[in-house]
Structure 1
Amino acid sequence: MLTPEQIATIAEELAEADRTHSVVPRITARYPEATIEDSYAIQGVWRDQNLAAGRRLVGRKIGLTSKAMQQATGITEPDYGVMFDDTVHASGAEIPVDHFSNVRIEVELAFVLARPLSGPDCTLEQTLDAIDYAVPALEVLNSHIELEGRTIVDTISDNAAYGAMVLGDERRRPDEIDLRWVPGVLSRNGEVEETGVAAGVLGHPATGVAWLANKFHQHGARLEAGEIILAGSFTRPMWVSRGDDVHCDYREMGTVTCRFV
Structure 2
Amino acid sequence: MRGQSKTSMTPFLEAAAAWFCLKGSEKMEKEMRKLQKKTIELFKPSTAQFLPTFWLLYHHGRKVKQCHSYMIRLIHLRVRDLIKLADYLTQREDIDPFRIGITGESLGGMHAWFAAAIDTRYSVAVPIIGVQGFGWAIDHNKWQARVQSIKPVFEEARIDLGKSSIDKEVVEKVWDRIAPGLASQFDSPRTIPIIAPRPLLILNGEKDPRCPIKGLQVPKSRACKAYAKACSLDNFKVIAQPRIGHEMASIRIAVTLE
Q: Normalised by the size of structure 1, how large is the TM-score?
A: 0.30
What TM-score do you get using the length of structure 2 for normalisation?
0.30
Ranked by relative contact order (alpha carbons within 8 Å, sequence separation 6 or more), the top structure is 1
Q: Which has the higher helix share?
A: 2
Q: Please identify which structure carries the higher strand content.
A: 1
